[in-house]
């Protein structure tokens, strides 16, 4: 990484001082993809947080990103900055923007490398730096798995094939080095940041262990907010249909839709499931694979509808009665809270720490041990069979989801901003 942990820590200790206190702050959010409401979970959450902080507290929010996108700027941002894909150049561009606009706080949404690079690029020490971690600690190791490397090789051309080819040919060495570097980034980013925001207190020990940390004083715990400030009217529950809904990126490493299809096979073997349909919203590299699997298994009543917005009046969440999640890991599981706010009762695997902050089993949803397809199918069938229980849980889910409203989460971010001002 170019520096020792000791010297870097000493640098931080000598050069840190508080942000200037004012009624409003200038906050820059960095996301690798452009922060727009129709993107994935991290981008949607960024827009929600920025919207709440700007509208409720008068903060001036900015967006920085590195992947080009022609979508218009979200109204919650006073300005935006597209930066170079090269990390060192991007850090220099952001540091210059911060200095020119007198930005008070930079929030890096998930990028360890950027946090480290910004300190090395000379980010003003009066600017507070927050790392918001959006994955289960250590899950990023899977981004360097063999399947990903093969995919990179297949999509490259010409001389661009050299690097991914070396990764594939020397995969055990590459994987060991990648994991070691990632652990170092966890540690170095923690040291460089003024605060590290985790989505759940349950992730604290995982981050500490993976990054080899002893100090955990910088951890703060703020869940992601809902994607919108809209809830199903309980009176409209009668319009629900016999639809079990999946909304996900169709990539099997994290989302495990293959397990959902296996569970659906067991569900449809029971007469209780008569008239029920599985609707799958989303796209991704494994979409064709899933369709082939469903065809090979001869699964009845499965509808792949592609990518579309499931939120809002008449959307998929509104008409679905059940919501199925089979992820091996999530940072937060934003689609779970989206399903709850529109009265689609979720069934999930108990596979990540933040899940239990969203679902209270038997009250606003169900969860079963990870990969236990039989238990999963049983939970789904019980909800299909008992319409009264399903409605009761749906109505409670709507109310419980309000814990994650824009206002509730904005209060937590505002408290952190005030704390940073007194550090």
User: Chain-wide mean pLDDT for the chain?
Assistant: 90
Cβ atoms of residues 323 and 345 within 8 Å:
yes
pLDDT at 149 over 80: no
Q: Tell me what pLDDT residue 379 has.
A: 98
Q: Tell me what pLDDT residue 423 has.
A: 56
Compute the average pLDDT of residues 298-321.
92
Q: How confident is the model at residue 9 (pLDDT cuts 50, 70, 90)?
A: very low
Compute the average pLDDT of residues 137-142.
84
Cβ atoms of residues 66 and 82 within 8 Å:
yes
pLDDT at 66 over 50: yes
pLDDT at 15 over 70: no
Q: How confident is the model at residue 151 (pLDDT cuts 50, 70, 90)?
A: confident
How far, in Å, CA of 415 to CA of 133, rounded? Answer: 18
What are the tens digits of pLDDT across the range 209-253? 999 999 899 999 999 999 888 999 999 999 999 999 999 999 998
Compute the average pLDDT of residues 65-92.
94
Percent of the chain with pLDDT over 90: 75
How far, in Å, CA of 73 to CA of 54, rounded? Answer: 15
Q: Tell me what pLDDT residue 8 has.
A: 35
Cβ atoms of residues 244 and 320 within 8 Å:
yes
Q: Tell me what pLDDT residue 7 has.
A: 35
Q: Tell me what pLDDT residue 17 has.
A: 39
Q: Tell me what pLDDT residue 14 has.
A: 36
Compute the average pLDDT of residues 310-335.
92
Q: Tell me what pLDDT residue 422 has.
A: 65
How far, in Å, CA of 50 to CA of 60, rounded? Answer: 9
Candidate ranges 38-52, 131-145, 359-373; pick with highest mean pLDDT: 359-373
Domains belonging to the chain, first-starting first, are 5-141+172-225+406-422 (3.40.50.2000), 234-403 (3.40.50.2000)
Q: How confident is the model at residue 416 (pLDDT cuts 50, 70, 90)?
A: very high
Q: Tell me what pLDDT residue 404 has.
A: 96
pLDDT at 2 over 50: no
Buried b / exposed e along 193-207 (16+ C-beta atoms within 10 A): bbbbbbbbebbbebb
Tokens of 296: 């090979």
Compute the average pLDDT of residues 294-310.
95
Q: Tell me what pLDDT residue 1 has.
A: 31
pLDDT at 320 over 90: yes
To 10 degrees, what angle do helices 41-57 and 334-341 make?
Answer: 60
Compute the average pLDDT of residues 22-28.
86
């Amino acid at each position: 990484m170019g520096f020792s942990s000791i010297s870097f820590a000493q640098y931080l200790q000598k050069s840190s001082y508080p942000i200037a206190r004012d009624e409003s702050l200038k906050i820059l959010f960095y996301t690798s993809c452009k922060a727009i409401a129709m993107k994935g979970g991290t981008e949607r959450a960024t827009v929600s947080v920025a919207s709440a902080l700007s509208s409720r507290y008068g903060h001036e929010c900015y967006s920085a990103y590195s992947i080009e996108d022609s979508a218009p700027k979200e109204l919650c941002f006073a300005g935006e900055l597209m930066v170079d894909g090269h990390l060192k150049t991007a850090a220099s561009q952001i540091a210059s923007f911060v200095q020119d606009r007198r930005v008070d706080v930079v929030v890096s949404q998930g990028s360890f490398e950027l946090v480290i690079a910004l300190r090395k690029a000379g980010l003003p020490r009066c600017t507070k730096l927050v790392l918001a971690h959006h994955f289960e600690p250590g899950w990023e190791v899977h981004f360097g798995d063999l399947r990903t490397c093969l995919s990179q090789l297949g999509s490259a051309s010409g001389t661009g094939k050299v690097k991914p080819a070396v990764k594939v040919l020397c995969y055990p060495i590459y994987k060991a080095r990648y994991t070691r570097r990632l652990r170092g980034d966890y540690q170095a980013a923690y040291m460089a940041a003024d605060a590290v925001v985790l989505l759940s207190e349950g992730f604290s020990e995982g981050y500490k262990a993976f990054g080899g940390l002893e100090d955990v004083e910088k951890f703060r715990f703020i869940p992601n907010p809902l994607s919108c400030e809209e809830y199903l009217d309980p009176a409209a529950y009668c319009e629900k249909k016999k639809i079990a809904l999946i909304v996900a990126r169709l990539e099997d490493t994290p989302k495990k839709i293959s397990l959902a299809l296996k569970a659906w096979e067991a569900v449809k073997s029971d007469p209780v499931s008569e008239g029920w349909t599985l609707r799958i919203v989303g796209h991704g590299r494994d979409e064709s694979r899933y369709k082939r699997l469903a065809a090979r298994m001869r699964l009845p009543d499965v509808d792949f509808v592609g990518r579309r917005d499931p939120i809002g009046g008449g959307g998929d969440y509104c008409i679905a009665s059940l919501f199925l999640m089979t992820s091996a890991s999530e940072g937060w599981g934003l689609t779970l809270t989206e399903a709850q706010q529109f009265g689609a009762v979720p069934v999930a695997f108990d596979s990540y720490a933040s899940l239990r902050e969203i679902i209270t089993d038997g009250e606003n949803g169900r969860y079963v041990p990870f990969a236990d397809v039989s238990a999963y199918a049983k939970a789904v069938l019980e909800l299909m069979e008992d319409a009264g229980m399903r409605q009761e849980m749906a109505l409670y889910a709507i109310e419980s989801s309000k814990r994650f409203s824009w206002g509730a989460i904005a209060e937590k971010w505002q408290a952190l901003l005030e704390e940073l001002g007194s550090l």
